[in-house]
Amino acid sequence: MNLSNRRYILSGIIVLFGLIFVARLFYLQVASDNWKAKAAVLTEEKIRIYPSRGLIYDRESELLVANRAIYDLMVTPRQTSEFDSLAFCELVGISMNELREKIDKAVRYSRYKASVLKKQIDPSDYARISEQLHKYPGFFGQVRTVRNYQKGIGAHLLGDFAETNPKDLKKDNYYRQGDYIGKSGIESVYEEQLRGIKGSKYVLVDVRNNIQESLSEGDYDTTAVSGSDLTITIDAELQAYAEKLMVNKLGSVVAIEPSTGEILALVSSPGYNPNLLVGAQRGKNYKVLSTDSLKPLYNRALQGQYRPGSIFKMVQSLIALEHDFITPQTRISCNRGIIGCHGAHSYDDLEGAIIHSCNPYFHQVMKRMVEQGEETSRFKDSRLGLASWNKHIKRFGFGTDLRTDLPGMKSGNVPDPSYYDGIYGELAWAYSTIYSISIGEGELLVNPLQMANLAAIIANRGYYYPPHVIRSIGNEGKPEAFRTPISCGVKEEHFTPVVNAMQKVIEQPGGTARRARIEGIEVCGKTGTVQNDPLPDHSVFMSFAPKENPQIAISVYVESSGFGGTWAAPISALLIEKYLTDSISDPRKEQRILDAVFLGP
């Protein structure tokens, strides 16, 4: 073979490798998107622009909830260099161990992306830290919006606004790790309206993850849309006053404007200042609150479930009148054989029975409703009777969620036939088994909101609006659902004897709720005493005022304080007076309440 032919072999090898390179280039640059995507991951970054969260105003346009800035100290491991860790720990206020642990954790997460080193640094502390931060490359502050409660009231009602947990992140991809979300109360129900719409900005970063320029001159960027401000139905002054009166007591206050269903005040006691759960001290404070034996985080106004007691006699009266089981003139003798009674009376009409809270009277009334004689079997008859009774009761909102906008409510219990079947077995019970519900005892459970709503129904003489806290979302007004009245199924005329009796309870000498009297205001109310063996009874009072054209309906629970008229009634009176006249005529009455302490055993 001629050696000069070897040039072709050599040239062939060279061209072959050239072609391999071109093929490889074609794969990397044209055929595969994989490497383009990798380059984009490295060089492009989406920066989320957080909208400002909607503010919350009370019904008088008083600012209740504002925003304030708080800082998270972040670290990007790749950008750090040697630094005086002792001085750094002192500056930031963490221990050396903590620093090492956090930086290790950050490195494990990503060398190029930022991790939180210390959360929730208050602006005043952050100002001090940021002055020194230039000495520590790789560390920077990230601003976060948290809530600032202007009046420090309504913690349960307004709800918690806190960092998202993994469950939140999974449920809604709006959120990113470290974002905040409304966890409870109004913050949670109106989260979507309050949060607004995030904006985004696409930028190019350098190898150290420093932002260099916007991508494609910002063509892909979107602006953030602020959240809507909320106006809520709460009267901040009344709320604050109710919270003040309930200090050192266990219980709740719910006040509703009957003509609209707007919740004027909603208090659960013991409460706490919502500002305690904001900022650097949140973790510590949350621990204290959540381990307190009096359960300050628990919202008694919505989640407390109590037997309604004597107050339930109002509902029994109304249903019995509507369905012609009695008339206002019906008299029933106070036969204390089956069921006890108290006070001197023997043969009351309806009004008298309400005023005296006559147990045998209502035992008999309910017997008429449950045992209608439709069936010969007493068991079958009671089943039928209880089923229709249950339907009537539920129209008053008991055993339902009232279609309120407040979350986390417990609906209570209004027994129906299958409920008793579950306890006693089918056809193994009759009215004689279950009669204690006739006077609001037994298996009946209602919550304080439902009780206040009952006051609103009676104040309106027959209907209610779903009790709600939203007055307006932005400028849109309130949702239609809250502007539609719901009838309780009892005609207006039947309310007259009941309302009159409720007024007499307060006005008449010897009435059970004399302490609820207010000079110049016609208050209607009814005491309740919920047995709480072996502890003292819960004191309950349900009322509205004034009698004509009522402005406020209210329920007050004071746990383990005894008879309803002694504590719950005067608290109601103070709140009614405050709301209607904006003043307190008898400071001694107020002082008596403020001095009282009922914190359980």
Partner 1 sequence: MTAQRSGDIRKNLDWSTFAITLALVACGWVSIYSAAYTPEHTAIFDFKSEHGKQLIWIGICAIIGLVLLNTEGEFFIRFSVISYVVVLVLLILVLIIGKKVGGARSWFGIGSFSIQPSEFAKTTTALMLAWFIAQTGSKFKALGTRLQAGLILLIPAGFIMLQPDAGTVLVFAGFIFAMYREGLSGNLLIAGFGAIILTIVAILSGASVFTYPFAGEQSGIYMMLIVLTILAGLFFLGVRTFTLPRYRKKNNRIVLLALVGALGFSYMVNYGIEDILKPHQRERIYVLFGMNSNPDAAYNINNAKAAIGAGGWTGKGFMNGPMTRYKFVPEQHTDFIFSSIGEEWGFLGSTLVIGLFLALILRIIALAERQRSQFSRVYGYAVASIIFMHILINIGMVLGIAPVIGIPLPFFSYGGSSLMGFAILIFIMLRLDAERYSVFR
Q: Under the criterion CB under 8 A, does residue 35 sit at the interface with partner 1?
A: yes
* DSSP 8-state assignment for residue 520: T
Residue 66 interaction partner, one of partner 1, Zn ion, none, beta carbon < 5-8 Å per kind: none
Binding-site size for partner 1 (CB under 8 A) equals 35
575: nearest Cα among 260, 271, 235, 305: 235
Side-chain half-sphere CA neighbours of 11 within 13 A: 5
Smallest gap, in angstroms, from Cβ of residue 340 to Zn ion?
A: 9
Smallest gap, in angstroms, from Cβ of residue 16 to partner 1?
A: 10
Smallest gap, in angstroms, from Cβ of residue 81 to partner 1?
A: 17
Q: Which is nearer to partner 1, 15 or 66 (CB)?
A: 15
Residue 334 interaction partner, one of partner 1, Zn ion, none, beta carbon < 5-8 Å per kind: Zn ion
Tokens 């492009």 belong to 44
At position 150, the amino acid (one-letter code) is Q
Query: In the structure encoding, which two tokens stand for residue 211, read together?
Result: 């932002």
Q: Which is nearer to partner 1, 5 or 475 (CB)?
A: 5
Query: In the structure encoding, which two tokens stand for residue 294, read together?
Result: 């009096």
Three-class secondary structure assignment of 160-205: CEEECCHHHHHHCCCCCCCCEEECCHHHHHCHHHHHCECEEEEEEE
Q: Under the criterion CB under 8 A, does residue 46 sit at the interface with partner 1?
A: no
Other beta carbons within 10 angstroms of residue 442's beta carbon come to 15
Q: Which is nearer to partner 1, 22 or 66 (CB)?
A: 22
Residue 32 interaction partner, one of Zn ion, partner 1, none, beta carbon < 5-8 Å per kind: partner 1
Q: Under the criterion CB under 8 A, does residue 30 sit at the interface with partner 1?
A: yes
Can you tell me which of 334, 406, 501, 553 binds Zn ion, judged by CB under 5 A? 334
Q: Under the criterion CB under 8 A, does residue 43 sit at the interface with partner 1?
A: yes
Residue 38 interaction partner, one of Zn ion, partner 1, none, beta carbon < 5-8 Å per kind: partner 1
Can you tell me which of 2, 7, 61, 173 binds partner 1, judged by CB under 8 A? 7
* DSSP 8-state assignment for residue 526: E
* DSSP 8-state assignment for residue 400: S
Q: Report the C-alpha gap between 582 and 238 in whole angstroms.
A: 9
Smallest gap, in angstroms, from Cβ of residue 352 to Zn ion?
A: 9
Q: Under the criterion CB under 8 A, does residue 39 sit at the interface with partner 1?
A: yes
Residue 20 interaction partner, one of Zn ion, partner 1, none, beta carbon < 5-8 Å per kind: partner 1
Q: Under the criterion CB under 8 A, does residue 207 sit at the interface with partner 1?
A: yes
- Kindly write down the DSSP assignment for every residue of 444-497, as one continuous string: -BB-HHHHHHHHHHHHHTSEEPPPB-EEEETTS---GGGGS-EE-S--GGGHHH
Q: Under the criterion CB under 8 A, does residue 34 sit at the interface with partner 1?
A: yes
Q: Report the C-alpha gap between 12 and 354 in whole angstroms.
A: 112
Query: In the structure encoding, which two tokens stand for residue 156, read together?
Result: 């349960």
Residue 44 interaction partner, one of partner 1, Zn ion, none, beta carbon < 5-8 Å per kind: partner 1
Residue 35 interaction partner, one of partner 1, Zn ion, none, beta carbon < 5-8 Å per kind: partner 1
Where helices occur in 1-73 by DSSP H, the ranges are 6-26, 34-43
For residue 561, give Cα distances in angstroms to 291, 547, 567, 568.
24, 28, 7, 9
Q: Report the C-alpha gap between 47 and 57 in whole angstroms.
A: 31
Whether the CB-CB separation of 365 and 317 falls below 8 Å is answered with yes
Q: Which is nearer to Zn ion, 118 or 356 (CB)?
A: 356
Q: Which is nearer to partner 1, 3 or 344 (CB)?
A: 3
Smallest gap, in angstroms, from Cβ of residue 142 to partner 1?
A: 22
For residue 424, give Cα distances in angstroms to 153, 379, 418, 431, 569.
46, 12, 10, 12, 38
Three-class secondary structure assignment of 95-154: CHHHHHHHHHHHHHHCCCCCEEEEEEECHHHHHHHHHHHHHCCCEEEEEEEEEEECCCCC
Smallest gap, in angstroms, from Cβ of residue 358 to Zn ion?
A: 3
Tokens 């037994």 belong to 442
Beta-sheet pairing, 139-149 with 161-163: unpaired
Q: Under the criterion CB under 8 A, does residue 25 sit at the interface with partner 1?
A: yes
Can you tell me which of 62, 104, 172, 206 binds partner 1, judged by CB under 8 A? 206
Residue 109 interaction partner, one of Zn ion, partner 1, none, beta carbon < 5-8 Å per kind: none
* DSSP 8-state assignment for residue 376: S
Can you tell me which of 85, 110, 132, 212 binds partner 1, judged by CB under 8 A? 212
Q: Under the criterion CB under 8 A, does residue 28 sit at the interface with partner 1?
A: yes
Give the nearest residue (CB) to Zn ion: 358
Q: Under the criterion CB under 8 A, does residue 220 sit at the interface with partner 1?
A: no
Residue 341 interaction partner, one of Zn ion, partner 1, none, beta carbon < 5-8 Å per kind: Zn ion
Can you tell me which of 157, 215, 332, 341 binds Zn ion, judged by CB under 5 A? 341
Of 62-70, 178-186, 206-214, 359-367, which segment contacts partner 1 by CB under 8 A?
206-214
Smallest gap, in angstroms, from Cβ of residue 110 to partner 1?
A: 14
Whether the CB-CB separation of 263 and 409 falls below 8 Å is answered with no
Binding-site size for Zn ion (CB under 5 A) equals 3
Q: Which is nearer to Zn ion, 242 or 439 (CB)?
A: 439
Q: Under the criterion CB under 8 A, does residue 18 sit at the interface with partner 1?
A: yes
Q: Under the criterion CB under 8 A, does residue 214 sit at the interface with partner 1?
A: no
Dihedral sign (CA 421, 425, 430, 436): negative
Q: Report the C-alpha gap between 206 and 490 in whole angstroms.
A: 73
Q: Under the criterion CB under 5 A, does residue 358 sit at the interface with Zn ion?
A: yes
Question: What residue ranges bind partner 1 (CB under 8 A)?
Answer: 3-4, 6-7, 9-11, 14-15, 17-18, 20-22, 24-26, 28-30, 32, 34-36, 38-40, 42-44, 204-207, 212
The residue ranges that bind Zn ion (CB under 5 A) are 334, 341, 358
